Chain A
Amino acid sequence: MTNQTETVLRAVDLRKVYRRGSEEIVAVDDVSLRVARGEFISFIGPSGSGKTTLINLLGCLDNATSGSLEVGGEQIFGSRSLSEKALTRIRRRVFGYIFQRFYLVPTLTLYENIVMPFAFYRKSDADVDPMAIIRFLGLENRLRHRPGELSGGEMQRVAIARALVNKPEILLADEPTGNLDSARSQEIGGILKSLNEKEGMTVLLVTHNPAIAALAGRAVTLSDGRIVG
C-alpha cells in the first residue's frame, strides 16, 4: 500500500535561467510542486515549455538558479546545496531515470546492461532481484543478446529494467516513447502504469503523447517555464 499523503518531492519557487551570450533564457520560472509517494504525474506542454528542465531539476541532475528542492525531507538545493558526491548518493538511492534514447552499452549483454549500476556501488543480494524485474518486463529470453540485436521497444524495456534494478523510490521518464511507434509506446506506457499501480512506484513522466499522458493520475501542464494547469 502506498501512502499518497507522504511527500517525496517538494519544490518551491524553482527557477532555472540559462545564458546564451547576453540573452537570458528562463527555462523554469518560479515553479512550486509537491509530489506525494505513489503518484503518477505527467508533464505536458509544447516544445520549449521547460518540461525536461523541470524534471532534471526534480531528479537532482541539474542545479536550479534559485528556489529550493527537498527529496524525502532532505534539502538538495536552496538555503544550502549538496556536494556532487552527496547528490550521487541520492541519485543511487532515490531515482531511476529513463530517457528518450536508450544509452545502452553496445558491447554488454542485455543482462550486463541491466545490472551495470551495481558496478558502481554495492547492494546486498537480498535487496536486489534483477530477475524479477527482467521477468516483469518480459526480457528473460533475451538475456545474452546485445543491444544491437534488440528492437527499439525491447531496448527501452532494458533501459527501464536498468532504471528499476536498484528499486528506486521515484522513476523519472523523459519522453520514453519518443523513439517508438504507437504500439510500442502503448506497451511502455502500460509498463509505467503497472509499476505505479502494482508496485506503488512514484512516476514522473514527460511526454508529448496525449494517450500516454492520460495514463497518469495527474497532469501538469507547462508553458514558458510556468505551470499553467
Chain B
Amino acid sequence: MKKISVYQIAYKNLLRKRTRSLLTIVGIGLSAWVLASLLGFNRGYESALKKDIDNMGFQVLVTAKGCPYEAATLMLKGGTGLRYMSEGVVEDILKHPEVEKVTPMLMQAVFDPERGDSGAISAYLGVDPATFPQMKAFLKFKQGGWFSDSEARQAVLGYEAAELEQREVGDMLLIPDKNIELTVVGILARSGTQDDGTIFVPIRMLQKEFGETGKLTAVGIKVDRRGDIAALENKLYDLPDVQVVSLAQVKNTIMSLVATAKVMVLSIAVIAILIAMVGVVNTILMSVFERVQEIGIMKSMGAMPGDIFRMIWTETVILCLLGGTLGVLLAFGLAKVTDLFVRRLLPYTPTGSLVIVGLGLGLTTLAIVIVIGLVSGVYPAWRAARMRPLESIRSEGE
C-alpha cells in the first residue's frame, strides 16, 4: 500500500497559499543573503588585508618623520610633503640582527598637465633592482623584466599604470616637467595590490635626475622569521628623525576601524533575521488558524499532539531550508556586487576579494537559518498540537 507521510502533508500544505509561502521564502532568503555576505565579509576583509600587507614584501617600513608613505596619501597632498632620510640609515638598520633584508626607496611626484582635463600628479617610485625584486618575488611580468642597472633611464609599469599610460615594452615614457625620457622595459602582470598602479624606476637615476642624490623617502625591512618585530620597531625609534610603520600595526588599526562597520552590519543582519523570524511565525500561525478544522479532523482520525507538532514544525523547516538555500545562492552569485557595495561604504578597502563565500560558510548560514526556523516554528506548532479535536472541528477559524 502506498502511504503518505507527515512530511509530505506538510510540504503540500505549503502549496496551498503559494504566494504567501513564496514571499516568506524570499524574506528568509534575503535575510540569509545578508547573513552569509556578512560572514563572508568578516572572513574576506581580514584575509584581503593580510594578503595586501604580505604582498608588500616587507613587514616594517621606515620613513622620514612626517613623510607620507603611500602613493595615495602623496596624491592627496598634491605631490608635496615629501621628507627625506639619508642613505646612511640603511647601514644603521642592517646592524640589527632581526633584519633579514632591506630595500631603499625614493618616491617622487610631478605635476603632469597632459593628464586628465586639468592635469594630475604622476608619482614615481625609485627602487633598487638588486634588492627590491627579491622582496617582491611574487610580482610576475606580463612583458619584459626589471631594469638592467640602478642608473638606467628605464621604467617598469604596474598592470594598471601600463593601461592608463597605454604603454608596452619598448615604448618611451616621458617624466613631465623634467623632460626625461624613459624606456619601458617591463610591464607587471596584475597582482591585485597597489603595485598595479605604480611606475617603478631605478633609484639611482631618480635620485640623480630629481637632484636628491643620497636621499631616500622609505626603507622597506623584511624581518627574520625568528625576529621579534615589536622589539625591532622599538630599536628603530632610536634612529634620528624617522618614523617606523609596522604593517602589522597598520593592519590592526584598519581592522579596529572596520570593526565599527562590522558591528553596524551585524546589527542590520540581526534585525533582518528577527524580521524574517516574525514573518515565519506569522505565516505558519496564519496557516494553522486557517486549518483549525482540518487539524481537528486529523486528531479525530488518530493524530497525536506530537504528530501535529511535527507536521507544523516541518512546514517551518521547509520554508527556512528553501529560504536559506536561496539566500546562500544569492550570496554566492552576488558576492561581486556585495563586494562593490562594501567598497563604496568603507573608507579603506584592501585590493583582494572582500566577500568570500565558500561552501563551509554556505552550510553554516543554512544551519543558522534552520535553527532559527526550528525556534520560530515552536509556538505555531505548539498552538496546533494542543488543539482539542472537537473544539477544532466546531471552530469556524480564529
Contacts and interface: CB of A to CB of B under 8 A. Distances in A.
Given A105-B294, A108-B9, A115-B3, A61 B304 contact: no
Interface of A: 56, 61-62, 84-85, 88-89, 91-92, 95, 97, 99, 101, 103, 105-108, 111-112, 115-121, 125, 128-130, 162-163, 166
B301 A91 contact: yes
Which 10 residue pairs of A and B lie closest in terms of their CB atoms, listed nearest first? A92-B302, A107-B12, A120-B303, A103-B297, A61-B390, A117-B301, A120-B307, A112-B4, A62-B390, A118-B3
B301 A107 contact: no
Interface string B350-390: 00000000000000000000000000000000000000011
A116 B13 CA distance: 13
A118 B301 CA distance: 9
A88 B302 contact: yes
Given A119-B4, A120-B307, A129-B1, A97 B301 contact: yes
Contacts of A121: 302
A103 B293 contact: yes
11 contacts: A62-B390, A89-B302, A97-B300, A105-B12, A105-B13, A111-B2, A117-B302, A119-B3, A119-B9, A119-B303, A166-B301
A119 B5 contact: yes
B393 interface: yes
A162 B4 CA distance: 13
B174 interface: no
B298 A116 contact: yes
A62 B15 CA distance: 33
A187 B93 CA distance: 105
A94 to B, nearest CB: 10
B93 to A, nearest CB: 77
Which of B5, B8, B13, B302 has the largest number of chain A CB atoms within 10 A?
Answer: B302
A192 B293 CA distance: 24
B303 A115 contact: no
A148 to B, nearest CB: 11
B237 to A, nearest CB: 75
A128 B2 CA distance: 11
Contacts of A107: 12-13, 15-16
Nearest to A130: B1
Nearest to A124: B1
A183 B235 CA distance: 105
Interface string B295-327: 011111111110100000000000000000000
Nearest to B305: A84
Nearest to A52: B394
B302 A120 contact: yes
Given A56-B390, A103-B294, A162 B301 contact: yes
Given A105-B9, A105-B294, A120 B1 contact: no
A91 B389 CA distance: 11
B302 A91 contact: yes
Contacts of A85: 304
A162 B6 CA distance: 16
A115 B2 CA distance: 8
A120 B298 contact: yes
A89 B305 CA distance: 12
Contacts of B12: 105, 107-108, 112
Interface string B1-38: 11111101100110110000000000000000000000
A120 B15 contact: no
Nearest to A95: B300
Contact of B301 (A62, A84, A120): A120
B9 A61 contact: no
Contacts of A62: 390
A22 to B, nearest CB: 22
Contact of A88 (B13, B304, B393): B304
B6 A120 contact: yes
A101 to B, nearest CB: 8
Interface in B175-228: none
Interface string B114-151: 00000000000000000000000000000000000000
A113 B98 CA distance: 79
Contacts of B294: 103, 105
Given A105-B9, A108-B12, A116 B301 contact: yes
Given A120-B6, A120-B302, 15 more contacts: A97-B300, A99-B393, A105-B294, A107-B12, A107-B13, A107-B15, A112-B9, A116-B4, A116-B298, A117-B302, A119-B4, A119-B307, A120-B298, A120-B301, A129-B1
